């Protein structure tokens, strides 16, 4: 089923599986990102631009899909194309793969069309064995370098390709244990303190470890290559990648590309380095380079967070810390800054760049549009427009609607007392309060119980993704601003503090301790509540009070562009004046669904509602309703006033009446007394109203048909409220909506009754107000007979929650038990209650609109199911000519942006 805006990269049938790049030319370019992945497309583009990238080639995402299609094996044409790719790289580098005299070493990296930081696998230094390692040592003149590369390769290969797992009990990597033991044995602190001989021993120990686990390390570089390529493809379906895709709604059919590239070395000595940087600050959006590097290291050292790196700019260096890149390697820095500027101008967006310096020469390994916090997203968009790189419309097209959500995330109340116990790096802004836990699995457990967790780790790794998704906030002792924790948290808009060096974590004891600034030590146990301020980097004991977040200064300006580009209106689903006000402050242009049942639960009226439901006859029911009427009128006065002059769609009562009845003994007794009945009698009547299938039972318009007084009272309350406000001079526009209509006759009857009451009320009040009558379309039958229903309707509002439920025959309350299994097994890509099922439910909607409009060309069309706040579903609404979408107040800005983007994509002019 089609549930996403974009289709997966469909096979080109060209049979071209391998795209070369390097030496100032390339087969691919940036627009081929679906085929080459983001990394491959970026490398191709950079190579054509003359940016120094190590030569290589990209195996396409089509091959990934073919690999899975063939039961995890390669299409036969691949090998020859890969061999040609090697010939290309060998020619440029002047070394040969597997040649003991002059070996070519390569990296094998994943690269999906969007960046999925650390979720998939990478293998570096591939091509080393005992013979080529010797050759490398001779040619480089450094035993240490050759065997450091070799031990890294065996370690990575063992982990990624051969699956040598972490030690469950101690939660440590067995290779790291051997490395630590070797450092102890040689009495050195840092990896860089180990000499060639020690590293050579370590290679032997690593291989022994692999053999002890029953695995074989391949010596033949070609075997190594195919093992690595397969591992990268396999990593597309590893649990962390799957969780990450679910989180962002990326379909599995995208697949990953594989990039095979000549190695360049940042670990060849003190004139070597490796680093990552953003061309603008990823948290604040400030227009200056921001990043980190390590001298004499390989790329994974920076992101792994095991060594705390140094900043790129001198101004970012803490007093007493080692020099920044700007100070340590000024020429490289100049060249890097120029490359950054070129890349940012070329891609017209903030770039996230990986680089390596080998013996003073700069190489760019990767560029991609950088992940940024929501605040930074707006700031960068405004700056890029002001700097003349983007038009306003282009800037709108590039924003991520979901990221607006985090701008509304809570902040700590101003002026609240802070017991700061430690400070780290403000890696991802926001405020978080929760219970301390140390293992990702415990976050998931707490979440299941509805509790908030703060995940505290030395550093995070991609395996931790599930816990990171569920955590309120993340706190790590190690790692910089570009560590895994920082990058992933920023992408998710989640509060995160990294590099909090004062933290001493005792995983076994399930506690951490911090030395406070006054010299005392404090211990925090699992389950204790702490607060994180991701904007300042402060860690506080206890739970600080939270307040609503505020939009940054750029918000209004960006939303002006958004609204100028948008065709559809955006309304909110709101049931109270407060919600209506909030929705308006977020830019709602009306209420698309006011669910009146929520008003019935008010403490001051539930008893009257129950009396009404259990009334023996119509007069008794009218008595009870007479008590409800004034309260209901006040509700509508409040809501219509808050939304004036925008329209407010008020849905008459929808749920089965049984939902309002008491279950607790005390409540039953209270009701019995008020009705002069015994509790047992009440109990029996409550039981008598129970239904086998309430969702398909006595609800919606069916209540209106059988108990006309309920809807009559509600209509009276609406029109009286409108008359009252009209007298005050306010322009109000109530739209009365009848739910769950499946038969035209139902709506004919209800329209007649509604009109009669409205006319009568207006006569009584001596006033006239404009109002319309329409229906929700929530049943497949309603879509099919929409032409007949439209005879009686001024508007259709698609209730896609129920329409999804009734179209699939899938209970919205029970689907959670089995839908995940459907998604896991790829029977469907996305939960259809979240992302509209375009083919089935969407098909019904299209029929409904077409037939409804055939009767009434001016029929107003809206959506008020949860899908009204989902960008992919909003796109569907745009394509099908909806007048408006309606969603929860907090999603209104997201829907405004998504609607604007959909208009721009459709190439439509806003009305
Ligand atoms: C719907 O069914 O889509 C809808 C908005 O109504 P409710 O969720 O209240 O059933
Ligand atoms: Mg419904």
> By C-alpha distance, which of 613, 578, 573, 618 is closest to 596?
573
| Substitution candidate for ligand 1 out of 573, 776, 780, 801 with most atoms within 8 A of CB | 801
Q: Is pLDDT at 9 greater than 50 in this prediction? A: no
Q: Which residues contact 404 (CB under 8 A, 6 or more apart)?
A: 374, 893, 894, 897
Q: Is pLDDT at 805 greater than 70 in this prediction? A: yes
Strands 884-887 and 569-573: parallel
Q: Give me ligand 2 centre to Cα 605, in Å.
A: 23
Q: How confident is the model at residue 699 (pLDDT cuts 50, 70, 90)?
A: very high
pLDDT of 598: 79
Q: Give me ligand 1 centre to Cα 232, in Å.
A: 43
pLDDT of 675: 84
Computed over every residue of the chain, the mean pLDDT equals 91
Radius of gyration, CA atoms only, the chain: 32
**Pairwise CA distance, residues 815 & 792, whole Å:** 34
Q: Which of 495, 864, 877, 887 is catalytic?
A: 864
Q: In the predicted model, what is the mean pLDDT of residues 844-862?
A: 98
pLDDT of 764: 97
Atom of ligand 1 nearest to the CA of 595: 9
pLDDT of 751: 98
**Pairwise CA distance, residues 328 & 644, whole Å:** 63
pLDDT of 13: 55
Q: Per residue, what are the HEC states of 406-472?
A: HHHCCEECCCCCCCEEEECEEEECCEEEEEEECCHHHHHHHHHCCCCEEEEECCCCHHHHHHHHHCC
Range in 110-114, 122-126, 487-491, 764-768 with the lowest mean pLDDT: 487-491
Ligand nearest to the CA of 862: 1
Strands 495-498 and 361-369: unpaired
Atom of ligand 1 nearest to the CA of 778: 2
Active site residue 409: no
Q: How confident is the model at residue 480 (pLDDT cuts 50, 70, 90)?
A: confident
Q: Give me ligand 2 centre to Cα 796, in Å.
A: 13
Q: In the predicted model, what is the mean pLDDT of residues 507-536?
A: 90
Range in 460-464, 472-476, 623-627 with the lowest mean pLDDT: 460-464
| Substitution candidate for ligand 1 out of 738, 739, 812, 888 with most atoms within 8 A of CB | 739
Atom of ligand 1 nearest to the CA of 739: 6
Q: In the predicted model, what is the mean pLDDT of residues 189-201?
A: 90
CA angle 227, 230, 232 (to 5 degrees): 110
Ligand nearest to the CA of 886: 1
**Pairwise CA distance, residues 482 & 292, whole Å:** 7
Task: List, chain by chain if needed, residues with CB within 6 Å of any ligand 1 atom.
Answer: 593, 595, 654, 778, 799-802, 864-865
pLDDT of 804: 95
Q: Give me ligand 1 centre to Cα 574, in Å.
A: 13
Q: In the predicted model, what is the mean pLDDT of residues 840-847?
A: 98
pLDDT of 308: 73
Q: How confident is the model at residue 615 (pLDDT cuts 50, 70, 90)?
A: confident
| Sheet containing 56-59: order of strands | 25-26, 18-22, 56-59, 257-262, 106-111, 122-126
**Pairwise CA distance, residues 819 & 871, whole Å:** 21
pLDDT of 66: 95
Range in 214-218, 237-241, 634-638, 746-750 with the lowest mean pLDDT: 237-241
pLDDT of 303: 63
pLDDT tens string 535-551 = 889 999 999 998 877 88
Residue whose CA lies nearest to ligand 1 atom number 9: 595
pLDDT of 10: 37
Residue whose CA lies nearest to ligand 1 atom number 8: 801
Q: Is pLDDT at 911 greater than 60 in this prediction? A: no
pLDDT of 12: 44
Q: Is pLDDT at 908 greater than 80 in this prediction? A: no
Q: How confident is the model at residue 532 (pLDDT cuts 50, 70, 90)?
A: very high
Q: Is pLDDT at 226 greater than 50 in this prediction? A: yes
Q: Express as a percent the part of the chain with pLDDT over 90.
A: 69
Q: Would you call the peptide bond into 78 cis, given omega within 30 degrees of 0 as the criterion?
A: no
**Pairwise CA distance, residues 817 & 165, whole Å:** 31
Ligand nearest to the CA of 841: 1
| Substitution candidate for ligand 1 out of 593, 597, 649, 796 with most atoms within 8 A of CB | 593
Which is higher by pLDDT, 171 or 903? 903
SS3 300: helix
Q: Is pLDDT at 362 greater than 50 in this prediction? A: yes
pLDDT of 5: 34
Q: How confident is the model at residue 569 (pLDDT cuts 50, 70, 90)?
A: very high
Q: Give me ligand 2 centre to Cα 205, in Å.
A: 64
Q: How confident is the model at residue 487 (pLDDT cuts 50, 70, 90)?
A: confident
Residue whose CA lies nearest to ligand 1 atom number 6: 799
Residue whose CA lies nearest to ligand 1 atom number 5: 865
Q: Give me ligand 2 centre to Cα 786, in Å.
A: 17
Range in 8-12, 446-450, 671-675, 773-777 with the lowest mean pLDDT: 8-12
Active site residue 864: yes
Q: Express as a percent the part of the chain with pLDDT over 70.
A: 97
pLDDT tens string 37-83 = 999 999 999 999 999 999 999 999 999 999 999 999 999 999 999 99
- The one-character DSSP state at 159 is I
Atom of ligand 1 nearest to the CA of 865: 3
Residue whose CA lies nearest to ligand 1 atom number 10: 802
Q: Per residue, what are the HEC states of 481-550?
A: CCCHHHHHHHHHCCEEEECCCCEEEECCCCEEEEECCCCCEEEEECCCEEEEECCCCEEEECCCCEECCC
Q: In the predicted model, what is the mean pLDDT of residues 678-699?
A: 91
Whole-number Cα distances in Å, 735 to 169, 297, 715, 741: 62, 66, 10, 16
Q: What are phi and psi of 423, to 5 degrees?
A: -130, 140
Strands 56-59 and 18-22: antiparallel
Q: Give me ligand 1 centre to Cα 577, in Å.
A: 20
CA angle 860, 809, 745 (to 5 degrees): 45
Q: Give me ligand 2 centre to Cα 22, in Å.
A: 57
pLDDT of 909: 56
Q: Which residues contact 731 (CB under 8 A, 6 or more apart)?
A: 644, 645
Q: Is pLDDT at 3 greater than 50 in this prediction? A: no
Whole-number Cα distances in Å, 671 to 511, 602, 674, 678: 51, 15, 5, 9
User: Is 744 within 8 Å of 789 (Cβ atoms)?
Assistant: yes
- Per-residue exposure over 855-888, b if at least 16 CB sit within 10 Å of its own CB, e if not: ebeebbbbbbbbbbbbbbbbbbbbbbebbbbbbb
Range in 424-433, 438-447, 738-747 with the lowest mean pLDDT: 424-433
Q: Is pLDDT at 731 greater than 50 in this prediction? A: yes
| Substitution candidate for ligand 1 out of 600, 656, 699, 864 with most atoms within 8 A of CB | 864
Q: Which of 281, 484, 792, 867 is catalytic?
A: 484
């Amino acid at each position: 089923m089609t549930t996403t805006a974009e289709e997966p990269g469909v096979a080109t049938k060209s049979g071209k599986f391998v795209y070369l790049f390097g030496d100032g030319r390339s087969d691919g370019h940036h627009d081929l990102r679906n085929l080459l992945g983001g990394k491959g497309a970026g490398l191709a583009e950079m190579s054509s631009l003359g940016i120094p990238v190590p030569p290589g080639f990209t195996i396409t995402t089509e091959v990934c899909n073919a690999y899975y299609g063939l039961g995890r094996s390669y299409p036969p044409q691949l090998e020859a194309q890969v061999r040609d790719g090697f010939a290309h790289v060998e020619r440029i580098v002047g070394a040969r793969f597997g040649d003991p005299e002059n070996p070519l070493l390569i990296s094998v990296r994943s690269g999906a069309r969007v960046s999925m930081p650390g979720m998939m696998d990478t293998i570096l230094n591939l091509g080393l064995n005992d013979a080529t390692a010797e050759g490398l040592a001779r040619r480089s003149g450094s035993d240490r370098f050759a065997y450091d590369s070799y031990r890294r390769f065996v370690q990575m290969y063992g982990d990624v390709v051969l699956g040598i797992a972490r030690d469950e009990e101690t939660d440590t990597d067995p290779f790291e244990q051997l490395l630590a033991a070797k450092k102890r044995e040689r009495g050195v602190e840092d990896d860089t303190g180990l000499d060639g001989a020690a590293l050579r021993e370590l290679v032997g120990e690593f291989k022994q470890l692999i053999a002890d686990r029953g695995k074989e390390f391949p010596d033949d570089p070609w075997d190594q290559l195919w093992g690595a390529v397969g591992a990268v493809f396999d990593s597309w379906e590893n649990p962390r990648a799957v969780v990450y895709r679910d989180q962002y709604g990326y379909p599995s059919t995208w697949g990953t590309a594989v990039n095979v590239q000549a190695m360049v070395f940042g670990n060849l000595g003190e004139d070597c380095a490796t680093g990552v940087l953003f061309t603008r600050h990823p948290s604040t959006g400030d227009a200056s380079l921001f990043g980190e590097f390590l001298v004499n290291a390989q790329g994974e050292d920076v992101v792994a967070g095991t060594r705390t790196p140094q900043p790129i700019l001198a101004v970012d260096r803490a007093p007493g810390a080692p020099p920044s890149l700007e100070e340590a390697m000024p020429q490289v820095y100049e060249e890097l800054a120029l490359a950054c500027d070129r890349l940012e101008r070329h891609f017209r967006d903030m770039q996230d760049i990986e680089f390596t310096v080998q013996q003073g020469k700069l190489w760019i390994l990767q560029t991609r549009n950088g992940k940024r916090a929501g605040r930074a997203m707006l700031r960068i968009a405004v700056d890029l427009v002001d700097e003349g790189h983007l038009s306003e419309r282009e800037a709108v097209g590039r924003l991520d609607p979901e990221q607006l959500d985090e701008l509304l995330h809570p902040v700590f109340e101003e002026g609240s007392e802070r017991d700061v116990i430690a400070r780290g790096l403000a890696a991802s802004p926001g405020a978080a309060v929760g219970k301390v836990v140390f293992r990702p699995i415990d976050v998931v457990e707490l979440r299941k119980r509805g509790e908030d967790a703060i995940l505290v780790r030395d550093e995070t790794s991609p395996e931790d993704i599930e816990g990171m998704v569920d955590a309120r906030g993340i706190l790590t002792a190690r790692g910089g601003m570009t560590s895994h924790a920082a990058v992933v948290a920023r992408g998710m808009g989640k509060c995160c503090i990294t590099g909090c060096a004062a933290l001493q974590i005792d995983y076994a004891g399930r506690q951490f301790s911090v030395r406070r600034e006054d010299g005392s030590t404090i211990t925090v146990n699992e389950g204790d509540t702490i607060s994180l301020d991701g904007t300042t980097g402060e860690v506080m004991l206890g739970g600080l009070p939270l307040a609503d977040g505020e939009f940054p200064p750029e918000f209004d300006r960006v939303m002006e562009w958004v609204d100028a580009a948008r065709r559809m209106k955006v309304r909110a689903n709101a049931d109270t004046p407060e919600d209506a006000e909030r929705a308006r402050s977020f830019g709602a242009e009306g209420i698309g669904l006011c669910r009146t049942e929520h008003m019935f639960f008010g403490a001051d009226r539930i008893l009257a509602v129950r009396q009404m439901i259990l009334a023996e006859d119509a007069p008794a029911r009218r008595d009870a309703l007479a008590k409800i009427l004034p309260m209901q009128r006040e509700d509508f006065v409040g809501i219509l006033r808050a939304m004036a002059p925008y329209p407010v769609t008020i849905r008459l009562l929808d749920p089965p009446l049984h939902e309002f009845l008491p279950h607790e003994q005390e409540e039953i007794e209270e009701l019995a007394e008020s009705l002069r009945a015994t509790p047992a009698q009440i109990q029996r009547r409550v039981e008598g109203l129970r239904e086998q299938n309430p969702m398909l039972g006595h609800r919606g318009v069916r209540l209106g048909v059988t108990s006309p007084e309920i809807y009559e009272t509600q209509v009276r309350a609406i029109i009286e409220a409108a008359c009252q406000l009209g007298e005050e001079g306010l322009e109000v526009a109530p739209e009365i909506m009848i739910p769950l209509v499946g038969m035209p006759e139902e709506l004919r009857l209800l329209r007649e009754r509604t009109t009669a009451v409205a006319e009568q009320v207006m006569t009584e009040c001596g006033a006239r107000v404009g109002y319309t009558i329409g229906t929700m379309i929530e049943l497949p039958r309603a879509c099919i007979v929409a032409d007949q229903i439209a005879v009686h309707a001024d508007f259709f509002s698609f209730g896609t929650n129920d329409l999804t439920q009734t179209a699939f025959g899938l209970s919205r309350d029970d689907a959670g038990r089995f839908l995940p299994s459907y998604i896991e097994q790829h029977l469907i890509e996305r939960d259809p209650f979240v992302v509209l099922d375009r083919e089935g439910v969407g098909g019904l909607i299209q029929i409904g609109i077409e037939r409804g409009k055939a009767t009434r060309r001016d029929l107003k069309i809206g959506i008020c199911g949860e899908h009204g706040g989902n960008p992919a579903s909003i796109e569907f609404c745009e394509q099908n000519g909806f007048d408006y979408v309606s969603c929860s107040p907090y999603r209104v800005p997201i829907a405004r942006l998504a609607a604007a983007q959909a208009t721009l994509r459709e190439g439509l002019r806003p009305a």
